[in-house]
Amino acid sequence: MAESPSLSDLRAELDPATRAAVLVEALPYIQAFAGRTVVIKFGGNAMVDTALSHSFAADVVLLRAIGIRPVVVHGGGPQIGQLLNRLGKESEFRDGLRVTDAETLDVARMVLAGQVGREIVGAINRREPVAVGLSGEDAGLIVAAQRDEALGYVGDVVDVNRSILDTLLADEFIPVISTIGADESGQAYNINADTAAIAIAAALGAEKLVYLTDVPGVLTDVDDPGSLVSRLSATRVKLLIEDGVITGGMIPKVEACLDAVAAGVGSAHILDGRIPHVVLLELLTDAGVGTMITRMDGSGS
């Protein structure tokens, strides 16, 4: 992938009138979302491509600068798999979840908090020193319980202790959360980042939950990028699944969005993380570039 343009490159390409028009277009969104929380699940190509990672870091710093409160939640499945491979340990999956024994859990904790989380924090802090890395184990942030003995140390979110997040957000920091949780005995569990992001967004009363993925959004024709649906109600999503329009790997993505809006999140967005500055394009422009899912027709922003 070609390196994405820097913000200075983009500014150089725009004449003053166009720059002014961009700012005017963004103004109503800035006013509407100021003081609101946006949870972003960071994953896909955006996580492993250096240029896209820097683009993402610029986006969240800008969101903070205009008064929006971004919270970043991340996984790291491919990175965990790579380290396990180097250690000569095979990964086993059941229903899309990695079977996690004690050794795999140690690797997951090391990769998520020690590698992936630090890389995201570093990318943001190179822009402005405002990112704070957290594990779900820190301050009892994510309370977890074992999902299934057959999966080992794979957990579900039981509760989110939002106090540490409230403190960081009040002081205008950007939390970057690794999705390892722990039960009341202190036993750690590896938690699916998509579902952890829902629980965190719901606990914070987030305005939006944004999923960065490797797909453009919901397409009515998977072979036609022009068939992207920019906005869907929960009812419409369910009908598209029943009619076989939404199929395969897109189903769990939209179901995660349905769970989020059912839990009280204002809207959930599926965005293509391969597009530079995609978060800004979706949240601060009229057109948007992904699919936004709301509880009902006409709701959300």
253 is an active site residue:
yes
* pLDDT of 4 over the 60 cut: no
Query: So what CATH class is 7-294?
Result: alpha beta
d(Cα 286, Cα 269) in Å, to the nearest integer?
15
d(Cα 266, Cα 9) in Å, to the nearest integer?
34
* pLDDT of 13 over the 70 cut: no
Catalytic residue among 49, 138, 194, 259: 194
Catalytic residue among 41, 43, 59, 181: 41
Strand partners for 228: 219
194 is an active site residue:
yes
Catalytic residue among 43, 75, 76, 77: 77
pLDDT tens digits for 209-266? 999 998 899 998 888 888 999 999 999 999 999 999 998 888 989 999 999 999 999 9
pLDDT tens digits for 157-173? 999 999 999 999 999 99
Helix pair 102-109, 77-86: axis angle to 10 deg: 120
Neighbours of 179 (CB within 10 A): 31
pLDDT band for 6, please (50, 70, 90 cuts). very low
**Which run of H or of E encompasses 292?**
strand 291-294
Query: 139 in the Ramachandran plot: left (φ > 0), alpha (ψ -120 to 50) or beta?
Result: left
44 is an active site residue:
yes
d(Cα 101, Cα 6) in Å, to the nearest integer?
42
The residues spanned by each domain of the chain are: 7-294
Catalytic residue among 43, 44, 152, 290: 44
89 is an active site residue:
no
